[in-house]
Structure 1
Amino acid sequence: MRIAIVTDAWSPQINGVVSTLVATRQCLRNAGHEVEVVSAAGMKTFACPTYPDIRLACNPYRKVASILENLEPDCIHIATEGPIGLAARRHCLKHGLAFTSSYHTRFPEYVRARSLIPMTLTYRWLKWFHGPSKAVMVPTPGILRSLEKRGFRHLVLWGRGVDTGLFRPAQVDQTGIARPLYLYVGRIAVEKNVEDFLRLDLPGSKWVIGDGPMREELQRRYPGVRFLGARNNDELVPYYNCADVFVFPSRTDTFGLVMAEAMACGTPVAAYPVDGPLDVVSHGRSGVLDHDLERACLAARQLCRKAVRLHALQYSWSAATQQFLANLHLARTAQGGEAAQSSLA
C-alpha cells in the first residue's frame, strides 16, 4: 500500500510522537509498504505558543493538498491536530477521502495547565477534529475508555513498542555516581509534572534528561539536581542502565514511551497509578505505582531488574504496526462500503 502519514510532529523534534512515527514508518517499509511523511519540512513555520522549540507550519493547506494529490495514497493517516493535520483533514473532507487519525497526547489537559481555557472547550474541538475519522487510534485501553466517556466515536487501539535490541541491559561505567540514582527522561514542561519528582526528599542523586520551557527555572530552583539536556535514543541507553529507578511523575501522558524504554534496560519505574502507567507498568513486577511518589521510588529499588526486562519484551513495534495496518484496512473497508451504498442510491 501507499500510505501517507500526516504530522506536525517530526524531526528535529525529540518526543514520543516522533519516536512512534519513525518506528512505525520503518516497520511499514520493512513490510514492503510505500510510506511518505507529510510534515512541515520545507514550509514557512512559526514558534508554537509557550513552546518555542516546536515549529508549526504557517498556512500549509495548499502545500499539503498538493503533496496528497501528487502522492495519491491508498491510506491517509492524520497523526496530529496541528496546522498540518487540519490542512489534511480539510483536503480529505473536500474530496471525499477516508482518513484515520490518532490521539497521542492529552491536549486539553496540556492547554489547561498552560492557560485558563477550560478542558471542556478543548475536548469539544478535538471531538470535531476526529469526528470524520474512520478510526481514531489511541495507545491504551485506559485512554480509549476515557475518550468513550467523552463521546468520541470510532475508537481503536494502536499500541506502542520499544526497540529491545537497542534498549537492553548493559554494563556501564558507574564510578562517581551517588547511589541510588533516580532518573527522569522527557520534556521539561508544566504538563509533565517534573517538579513532583524534583521536590522529593530521596537519598542519592537525581538526573534529568530533556529540554523544555521550564528547564532554566527548575535548574535554578533545584541546584542539587543534574540537568543533562536532550539526548537522542541511542544516547539514552547508558543513562537508563545507570539508573536505579526511572521516575515518571506525569499524570497526563497517554502512554509514556520512555517507561517502556527504561524497563527494556531493566530499570524499574516509579509512577502515579493513572492512565498511561496503569496500562504500561506491571505493579510490583516492572515498577511501583503509588499516589505517594516518594514511596513508589523507594519501593521500586527493590524490584528484580531481570523481571523488569521480561515485562518490557511484550512491547514490540512489529505488533504495534500490525495494529496500525489493521486500523487502516478498517478505514478502507468503511470507505468501500460507503462508496457501494452511494452507487446503489
Structure 2
Amino acid sequence: MNGNVLIIGLGLIGGSVALAIKKEHPDSIIYGYDLNPDSIKLAHMLQVIDDGLEDEQQLQRVAENADLIILATPVQQSEQWLDIIASWQLKQDAIVTDVGSTKQKIMEKARLLNNHNITFIGGHPMAGSHKSGVQAAKALLFENAFYLLTPFDGEHEDQVEKLRHWLKGTRAKFLVLSAKEHDELTGVVSHLPHIVAASLVRQALNSKSNQDLLQRLAAGGFRDITRIASSNPHMWRDILIHNKQVLLDMLHQWNEEMTMVTKMIEAEAEEEILQYFQTAKDYRDNLPTKAKGAIPAFYDLYVDLPDYPGVISEITGLLAKESINIINIQILETREDLFGVLVISFQTYEDRIKAKACINQNTSYETFIPA
C-alpha cells in the first residue's frame, strides 16, 4: 500500500507509529507536524518522517491530500484538532484515527467528521516506554501489544481492515470494541491503578515516619509497585477528566473494598483476611506473564553481586556482547553491610530469559526473577 500519511504529534507514540508504517509501506510518504518545531526537525533528521510541516497552511494542504491522518497528541489536544480537521476538505476515502487512552469523548467529538462522511476510527496502542520524545521512537514498540480500535457503529468493515493494513507494521494484536467498553476496561487495568499508585506515594510522602529511612526502605518493592506513579502528570490529568464517570464509579467501588478490609482488620477476622489475600493471589498468578497489557511491563532480573570494583561493568559487558538491550539498572541496598542486589530491567520477556542464561553461563553470581 502506498499513499500520503500525516502524523500530528511527534512524540514517542506518533514517531513509533510513523516508523512502523514506513517499514511496512516504504512507498508511502510520511508527513509530520508538531506544535514544537524542534520535534519536527528532530523527526526529520532521524528519518522518522519524510517531510516536516512548518505552518498550519502547509498542514491543511497536506491533510486534504492525505489517505491517513493520525492524531498522536494528548486527548484534550486531539479534541481541538478534530474541530480544526472538520473544517478542512478531506478526501472522501481518507481515514482519521487517534492514539488516545480514552475513547468515549473522542468518539463524540469525531461525529463532526462522521457527519461529513469522513471515516474516523478511534485507536489506542497499549504500549509505551520509560523514555519519551520522538528520539525514543521504535518501529517495534507495539509488537505483541494490544492495539484497540473503536469504530462507529455501522462503520464499513473494509475501512477498519484498511486501517489495520496501514498499521500492520506495528505487529500489534488488533481488537475491535465499543468506546464505552474500551473506557471501562482501561479504567480497571490502567487508569485506576495509576490513581492508586499515586495515592500510595502521596501517603508515603505525608507519613510522619523518618523520611530519610522511609526512602531507603522504599527503594525496593515499594518503588516497583508504584512505578507507574512516575507517569506524565499532564497526560493523567487529561485521562481522569476524559474518563470521569467510569473512574468515579470505580473509586466508589474501591472505597467499598477498603471499607470491607478495614472492618476485617478491626474484627481481626483471620479466615476472611486469609481468603482475601488468597483470592487476589490466585487471580494474579493466573495472569499471562509474556503478553503485553495496558500498563507497559518492564521485565526485571535480580543479580546478587560481590563487592569489588568493576563488577557492574562486567555484567553489562556480557549482556552487550550478546546484544541484549538494557532499559534500566539500579542497586537495591537492603543492608548497610552488603553491596546490594543489582536490578536489571528489560523491554521484553525474551531479553530477560536470555540475560539470565548469559549471566549464569559466564559467572557464578546468583540470579533470580521476581514473582
Structure label with greater radius of gyration: 2
TM over 0.5: no
Give the number of the structure whose residues are more often helix, by fraction: 2
**Which structure exhibits the higher relative contact order, with contacts defined as CA atoms closer than 8 Å and separated by 6 or more residues?**
1
TM-score by structure 2 length? 0.33
